[in-house]
Structure 1
Amino acid sequence: MNVFSALRAFRELLPVLRPEWRGMLWSYLIGTASALSLAGLTVLTAWAVGHAVVERTPPGPLWWVLVIGLVLVRAVLTWREMDVSHALAYRVLARLRMALFDAYARSVPGRRREHSGYAATVAMDDIEKLEFFYAHTVAQLGASLTLFLASLVSASVLLPEAGLVVLVGGLVVASSALYRARAARRLGEQEQRERSALSTRIVDALGALREVLAYGLAPRIIAETDAATARAAAIARRHELLSQLVTAIRELVITAVVIGIIAVSSSAAGVLAEGAQARLSPAELPALVALALAGVAAISDATATLTRLHPLVAGAERVATGIGRAPVVSVPERPRPLPTGPLGLRFRDVSFAYEGRRPTLTSWSVELAPGEHVGLVGPSGSGKSTVIALAARLWDPLAGTIELVTPDGTGIPVAELDDAALRDAVALVDQEAVLFHGTVRDNLLRGCAPRSDADLTAVLERVGAAAWIGLDDELGEGGVRLSGGQRARLCLARALVRRPRILLVDEVTASLDPATEQAICDVIAGFPGTVLVASHRAQTLARLDRLVDVTDITGVTGVVPAGRTGGA
Structure 2
Amino acid sequence: MTMDHRTTEPGAAPGPGSPASPSPERGSLRALLPVLGAHRSMTVRTFVAALAGQTALAALVVLAAHTVGTAVMTRAAPGTGTVLALVALVLVRAATTWWEMDLSHDLAYRVLAELRVRVFDGLARSAPLRIGGRRSGDLASAALADVEALEFFYAHAVAQLLATTAVFGAGTVVLADLEPWLLPAVLPMAAALMLGPLLEGRDRAALGARTRSAAAELSARAVETVDGLPELLAFGAFDRRRADLRGYGRLLGAAQRAEQTREARSAAVRDILVVISLVAVVAVSAHTLEGAWVPAAVALALGVLAPVADSAAALGQAACLRAAAARVGAAVRAPRGAPEPRSPRPVPDGPLGFRLSGVRFGYGGGPVLDGLDLLVRPGETVALVGASGAGKSTCAHLLARFWDPADGRVELLAGDGRSVDLRQVAESELRAAVAVVGQDAPLFHGTLRENLRLGTPAASDADLVAVAALTGVDRIADGLPQGFATMLGERGSTLSGGQRARVALARALIARPRVLVLDETTSNLDGLGDAELLAALPDCATLIIAHRAATIRRADRIAVLEDGRVAQEGTWAELTAVPGPFTRVLDREQRG
Contact 2:359 2:408 (8 Å CA) reproduced:
yes
Are the counterparts in 2 of residues 92 and 135 from structure 1 also a CA contact under 8 Å?
no
State the partner residue of 1:481.
494
| Residue number in structure 2 paired with 1:421 | 429
Q: Once structures 1 and 2 are overlaid, which stretch shifts more, 503-512 or 37-46?
A: 37-46
Normalised to the residue count of structure 1, the TM-score between the two structures is 0.89
**Aligned residue among 42, 57, 60 for 1:23:** 42
1: CA distance, partners of 2:502 / 2:303: 68
Partner of 2:370: 362
Displacement after TM superposition at 1:95 (Å): 2.1
**1:293 pairs with 2:302:** yes
Which AA in structure 1 matches 2:59?
Answer: G
Matching of residue 547 in structure 1 with residue 558 in structure 2: yes
Match of 1:325 among 330, 334, 345: 334
- The Cα offsets for residues 192-232 of structure 1, whole Å up to 9 and x where unpaired, read as 33333322322332333332222222211221222222233
Instruction: Give the structure 2 partner of residue 377 of structure 1.
Output: 385
Secondary structure in 1 aligned to 2:339?
Answer: coil
Amino acid aligned to 2:101? M
Q: CA deviation at 1:262?
A: 1.6
In the other structure, the counterpart of 2:400 is 392
Separation in structure 2 between the aligned mates of residue 226 and residue 553 of structure 1, nearest angstrom: 46
Structure 1 equivalent of residue 523 of structure 2: 510
1:251 to 262, 266, 271: 271
Alpha-carbon distance change, 477 to 191 in structure 1, aligned in 2, over 3 angstroms: same
Match of residue 466 from structure 2? 458
2:240 partner amino acid: R
**Aligned runs of 1:158-237 on 2, under 5 Å?**
158-177=178-197, 183-237=203-257
Q: What SS class does the counterpart of residue 513 from structure 2 fall into?
A: coil
Please say which of residues 553-562 and 21-30 is displaced more in the overlay. Answer: 553-562
**How does 1:26-45 map onto structure 2 within 5 Å?**
26-45=45-64
Letter in 1 for 2:173: V
Distance 1:460 1:135, change over 3 A: farther
Asked whether the 8 Å contact 1:336–1:418 carries over to 2, the reply is yes
Distance 1:412 1:181 in 2: 53
Matched, 1:306 2:279: no
Task: State how far apart, in whole Å, the 2-side matches of 1:16 and 1:395 are.
Answer: 29
Counterpart of 1:273 in structure 2 is none
Retained in 2: the 8 A contact 1:449–1:498? no
Contact 2:488 2:494 in 1 (8 A): yes
Q: Which moved more, 1:449-458 or 1:369-378?
A: 449-458
Q: Distance in 1 between matches of 2:311 and 2:532?
A: 67
Larger deviation, residues 346-355 vs 454-463: 454-463
CA RMSD of aligned residues (A): 2.4
Per the alignment, residue 559 of structure 1 pairs with 570
Residue number in structure 2 paired with 1:147: 167
Alpha-carbon distance, 1:237 to partner: 2.9
Structure 2 SS opposite 1:446: coil
- CA displacement, residues 536-556 of structure 1 (integer Å, 9 cap, x when unaligned): 112222222111112276648
**Equivalent residue, structure 1, for 2:177:** 157
Report the Cα offset of residue 178 of structure 1: 5.5
Which amino acid letter does the alignment assign opposite residue 503 of structure 2? L
SS of equivalent to 1:509: coil
Contact kept in structure 1, 2:476 and 2:499, CA below 8 Å: no
CA distance in 1, matches of 2:475, 2:207: 59
Partner of 1:96: 115
* Further displaced range: 188-197 or 336-345: 188-197
1:70 to 1:499, Cα distance in 2 relative to 1, 3 A = farther
Paired letter, 2:385: V
Aligned partner of 1:135 in structure 2 is 155
1:311-337 CA-to-partner distances (Å, cap 9, x unmatched) read: 311221222223333321011111112
Q: Which amino acid letter does the alignment assign opposite residue 496 of structure 2?
A: S
Q: Give % identity.
A: 39
Gaps of 5+ in 2: 1-23, 478-482, 575-592
Q: Would the aligned equivalents of 1:465 and 1:489 in 2 still touch at CA under 8 Å?
A: yes
Q: Structure 1 residues 16, 52: closer, same or farther in 2, change over 3 A?
A: closer
1:489 and 1:318 map into 2 onto residues whose CA distance is 38
Residues 359, 556 of structure 1: CA spacing in aligned structure 2 closer, same or farther, 3 A cutoff? Answer: closer
C-alpha distance in structure 1 between counterparts of 2:470 and 2:484, whole Å = 14
**TM-score, normalized by length of structure 2?**
0.86
**Paired residue type of 1:42:** V
Write the deviation string for residues 101-145 of structure 1: whole angstroms up to 9, x where unpaired.
222222224577432243222222211112331233222232233
Q: The residue matched to 1:481 in structure 2 has which SS?
A: coil
Task: Tell me if the contact between 1:17 and 1:95 (Cα under 8 Å) persists in the aligned partners.
Answer: no
Q: Do structure 1's residue 405 and structure 2's residue 418 form an aligned pair?
A: no
CA deviation profile, 1:469-508 (whole Å, cap 9, x unmatched): 2332111111111111111111111111112111111101
**Does residue 1:498 correspond to 2:511, yes or no?**
yes
Classify 1:364/1:520 alpha carbon distance in 2 versus 1 (closer, same or farther; 3 Å): same
CA pair 15-358 structure 1, distance change in 2 beyond 3 A: farther
In the alignment, which of 292, 313, 330 is matched to residue 283 of structure 1?
292
* Contact in 1 for aligned 2:422/2:430 (Cα 8 Å): yes
Q: Which runs of 5+ in 1 are unaligned?
A: 270-280, 564-568
Mark the CA change 1:344 to 1:184 in structure 2 (over 3 Å): closer, same or farther: closer
In the alignment, the residues of structure 2 paired with residue 62 and residue 432 of structure 1 have an alpha-carbon distance, to the nearest angstrom, of 77
Q: Distance in 2 between matches of 1:15 and 1:178?
A: 22
Q: Give the match for residue 275 of structure 1.
A: none
